[in-house]
Amino acid sequence: MTHDEIWEVLCRHVRDVLGDLQDDEIHPRQKLRDLGANSLDRMDILVGTVDELRLTVPTGALAAEPTLGGLAELLHAHCEQP
Amino acid sequence: MPDRRQGTGIAVTSAAVLHPAAATVTELDRVLRRGEPTLRPTPVPGAGLVVPAAHLDGFDLRSWARSHCADPAGRDRLRRVAGRATLPVRTACCVALAACTAARLTEAEARDTSVVIAGNNLALGHQSRSAAAYAADPATVRAGHLLDCFDTDALGAVGEVTGCRGEGWPIGGSSAAGALALIHATRMVAAGQAPRCLVVAPVNDLSPVEIGAFVKAGAMTPVTAGGDAAAACRPFDESHDGIAVAQVAAAVLVEPASEAHRRGIRPLGRILGSGTSTDARRGTRPDTDGQVRAMRKALSDCGLAPSDIDYVNAHATGSAVGDDSEAAALAEVFGAGGSTAFGSTDAGSTAFGSTAFGLTAFGLTAFGSTDAGSTAVESTAAGATGIDGPWVNSTKALLGHGLGAAGLVEAVATLLQLAGGYCHANPHLAKPVRTDLRFVTDTITRAPLRTALSNSFAFSGINASLVLGRAEEDCP
């Protein structure tokens, strides 16, 4: 799975959980907290994305509060290569 | 000789409302003066049923913020905190912010302001949709549901939006919650336990399940084809056959009047006294005796006689059983001989505001005729004239029943009428259930009002009465 595909799925779940976002608010340097996501929202975004991508990622992945770009990198690293 | 109705009491500094027909207090005042019901035929999803209701269909927080919040930072905070919350929490945040802004609270003042949230089971509509989605596919469950499913979400969200971080009290009480919350806030302020208190009643959002149960119970009559939803709620009329629910939110800031004056604000009015009682009985049936006890407690709390009350904002939902019980209770408290019972109850109640009047009030019961100035009356219909006692109307005929928010919305409606010197019409009251009460007819009544009593009664035998007064500076 390419980085772009992961980015697309992640952004879809960000929009799905947070709704009501402007296009320019979603970019790799953005942090979920700054988009108004509370801890439960962040969990819903991570779990939704991971489930759709069929990945196994420890829930502690959000502890360091990565940027959206950092989160996509992390997911990519956990991606099983075919 | 001073009029004891001008005693100090606790001031309602500011108020905010959110109803399908009134997005501001000024608009609410207009709706009341117009005296026309705002109820619409409202389909119940999945039930093939249409009921009379006032629903905030498509309420959009962003557009509310654009028209009611001048501060861009405040708008952003409101959107960030509450944009994705349930309808009760979104509406609570809007009215809370509006009431704080109108009260001109500084950041420091907001910090030590306490918050009371009125109502329980606020997000039943959301709960029902979540449960249905879960039944269809358990994978739809979200961690975020943990916030949405508890009424305390309103407390946290209101605190974050307004900066109020004093004590926090979620107060349930079904249809009496709004009044109970206002009473608790007034007690905290009167006792010096809080410098001021923000009371917020979020929309009490029902699901189709509760609407269906109201219909099955015979407490709500569906609108039939060609039926008139606007005329569906007819409190105190012999033809009354049920309630109409309203999605309505309200907020008020309660503090000593001196505090409002210090910030250069003319309060909306005053809370003079209150009384509550319970019926010690499970069920939905009202109890006239419990209602009488609540009203008499409220009067004795501020040392007033029944004859001192110019106007009663009745609980009157339009349900036959409830209206009849309250009409009997009003006749007992305010009818001929009712005043002789004054002071017979609760000599030892812990009265806020009682210090303003004290026991000397008992020696003054002959003072102050309520009818002295009530001459400019536009209403002339039969049955309303020649009867002594306070004017009686029901705001639910116009706005619908706000459930947990009703008591607070109606307290605001009562203060608006006191300030404006009018009692709004009872638009569909043609044949009153009693002839010994002074009901307002289908026309607005203009009268110089100073003191009013507002009732809120709830399932499970909870009765609450508030005595409200005009702002001191408005008193002649």
- The size of chain A, in residues, is 82
Going by C-alpha positions, the residue among B312, A14, B433 that lies closest to residue A23 is A14
| Position B187 pLDDT exceeds 90 | yes
Q: Tell whether B428 and B297 lie within a shared domain.
A: yes
On whether any CB of chain B is under 8 Å from the CB of A65, the answer is no
In sequence order, the β-bridge partners of residue B198 are B115, B253
Tens of pLDDT, residue by residue over B90-130, are 999 999 999 999 999 999 999 999 999 999 999 999 999 99
Q: Distance between CA atoms of B454 and B359, rounded to whole angstroms? A: 23
B84 touching A (Cβ < 8 Å): yes
Q: How many CB atoms lie within 10 A of CB B254?
A: 31
- Are B292 and B318 members of one domain? yes
- Cα distances from B460 to residues B120, B279, B463, in angstroms, run 13, 8, 9
End position of a domain, from candidates B262, B297, B316 = B262
Rounded to a whole number, what is the distance in Å from the CA of B168 to chain A's nearest CA?
Answer: 21
Q: Pick from B16, B419, B335, B37: which is nearest to B199 by CA? A: B16
- Do B292 and B440 fall within a single domain? yes
Q: Is A54 on the interface with B (CB under 8 A)?
A: no
Q: Does A64 touch chain B (CB under 8 A)?
A: no
Minimum Cα–Cα distance from A38: chain B residue: B144
Is the pLDDT assigned to residue B132 strictly greater than 60?
A: yes
What's the whole-number average pLDDT of chain B? Answer: 89
Mean pLDDT of the B245-262 span? 96
CB contact under 8 A, B143 and A44: yes
Angle at B148 between CA B145 and CA B151, to 5 degrees: 140
All residues of chain B having their beta carbon less than 8 Å from the beta carbon of residue A40 are: 142-144, 146-147
- Of B62, B80, B142, nearest to A44 by CB-CB distance is B142
Q: Which of the four pLDDT bands, split at 50, 70 and 90, describes residue B472?
A: confident
Q: Which residue of B has its CA nearest to A35?
A: B80
Render pLDDT for B281-313 as a digit per residue (tens, 0 to 9). Answer: 999 999 999 999 999 999 999 999 999 999 999
Structure tokens at B201: 């009643």
Q: What is the pLDDT of residues B340-374, one digit of tens each?
A: 444 333 333 333 333 333 222 332 323 323 333 33
Are B143 and A43 a contacting pair at CB < 8 A?
yes
What pLDDT is recorded for position B343? Answer: 39
* CATH 3.10.50.40 for the A3-78 domain, yes or no: no
For residues A32 and A70, is the Cβ–Cβ distance under 8 A?
no
Q: What percent of chain B has pLDDT over 90?
A: 83
**Residue B342, amino acid:** F
- C-alpha dihedral sign at B366, B367, B371, B375: positive
**What's the mean pLDDT in B306-334?**
97
A50 contacts chain B (CB < 8 A): no
For the segment B143-168, what is each residue's pLDDT rounded down to a tens digit? 999 999 999 999 999 999 999 999 99
Selecting from A18, A40, A51 the residue whose C-beta is nearest the C-beta of B143 gives A40
Shared domain check, B394 and B341: yes
Return the structure tokens found at B86: 């349930």
Burial (Cβ within 10 Å: 0-12, 13-18, ≥19) of residue B196: buried
Q: How many structural domains is chain B composed of?
A: 2
Calculate Rg over the CA atoms of chain B: 21
Instruction: Please identify, among B219, B235, B262, the residue that sits at the C-terminal boundary of a domain.
Output: B262
Contact B204, B400 (CB under 8 A): no
CA nearest B78 in A: which residue? A36
Task: Count CB neighbours of B386 within 10 A.
Answer: 7
Query: Are B80 and A36 within 8 A, CB to CB?
Result: yes
Residue B118: in which H helix or E strand, if any? strand B114-118
Q: Measured between alpha carbons, how far is B204 from B351 in angstroms, rounded to an integer?
A: 30
| Residue B34: predicted pLDDT | 98
Give percent helix, percent strand, percent coil of chain B, each to the nearest 5: 40, 20, 40
B276 and B140 inside one domain: no
Token pair of B463 as six digits? 């009765």
Tell me the residue range of the domain where B103 lies: 10-262
Q: Do residue B139 and residue B238 come from a single domain?
A: yes
The per-residue pLDDT for B475 is 59
Q: Which residues of B touch A44 (CB under 8 A)?
A: 142-144
Q: Rounded mean pLDDT of A17-33? A: 89
What tokens appear for B252 in the block? 């008020």
Nearest CA in chain A to B60: A20
pLDDT at residue B361 in the model:
30
Asked whether the beta carbons of residue B144 and residue A36 sit closer than 8 angstroms, the reply is no
**In this complex, do B80 and A18 lie within 8 Å of one another by their Cβ atoms?**
no
> Are B177 and B402 contacting, i.e. CB atoms less than 8 angstroms apart?
no
Q: Pick from B334, B264, B269: which is nearest to B304 by CA?
A: B334
B343 CB near a chain A CB, below 8 Å? no
Q: Nearest 10 degrees: CA dihedral of B110, B116, B118, B119?
A: 120
| Å between B449 CA and nearest CA of chain A | 47
Size of interface A-B (CB pairs under 8 A): 31
Q: B-chain residues within 8 Å CB-CB of A18?
A: 84
Chain A contact set for B142 (CB, 8 A): 17, 40, 44
Mutating which of A15, A16, A20, A62 best tests the B interface, going by the most B Cβ atoms within 10 A? A20
Confidence label for B474 from pLDDT (cuts 50, 70 and 90): low
Strand-strand pairing, B451-458 and B462-469? antiparallel
What angle, 0 to 180 degrees and rounded to 10, lies between the N-to-C axes of helices A3-18 and A39-53?
A: 140
Same domain, residue pair B339 and B456: yes
Half-sphere exposure (Cβ direction) of A68: Cα atoms closer than 13 Å: 25
pLDDT of B420 over the 90 cut? yes
Question: A58 touching B, CB under 8 A?
Answer: no
Residue of B190, B195, B388 whose CA lies nearest to B302: B190
Higher pLDDT, A57 or B428: B428
B283 Rama sector, left if φ>0, alpha if ψ -120 to 50, beta otherwise? left
**Is the minimum CB–CB distance between B212 and chain A shorter than 8 Å?**
no
DSSP code at position B76: H
B77 and B149 fall within a common domain: yes
What does the domain layout of chain A look like in residue ranges?
Answer: 3-78
The answer for B303, left when phi > 0, alpha when psi is -120 to 50, beta otherwise, is left
* CA distance to B38, B71, B222, B237, per residue, from B51 (Å): 13, 39, 4, 19
B143 at interface of A, judged by CB pairs closer than 8 A: yes
Q: Are β-strands B40-44 and B311-313 bridged in parallel, bridged antiparallel, or unpaired?
A: unpaired
Please check whether residues B258 and B314 belong to one and the same domain.
no
CB proximity A22 to B under 8 Å: no
Find the CATH number of the domain harbouring B382. 3.40.47.10
Asked if residue B217 and residue B254 are part of one domain, the reply reads yes
Same domain, B119 and B194: yes
Task: Report how far apart the first and last C-alpha atoms of chain B are (Å, whole number).
Answer: 13
Cβ separation A20–B147 shorter than 8 A:
no
Q: Which residue has the tokens 């043609």?
A: B430
The answer to whether B99 and B267 are in contact (CB under 8 A) is no
Given B245, B262, B279, which residue is the final one in a domain?
A: B262
Read off the pLDDT of residues B4-48 as tens digits, 9 standing for 90 and up.
Answer: 444 568 999 999 999 999 999 999 999 999 999 999 999 999 889
The span from the CA of B308 to the CA of B303, in Å, is 10
Other Cβ atoms within 10 Å of B58 Cβ, number: 6
Same domain, B343 and B285: yes
ipTM comes to 0.78
The amino acid that residue B175 corresponds to is: S
Alpha-carbon distance of B183 to B256, in angstroms, equals: 14
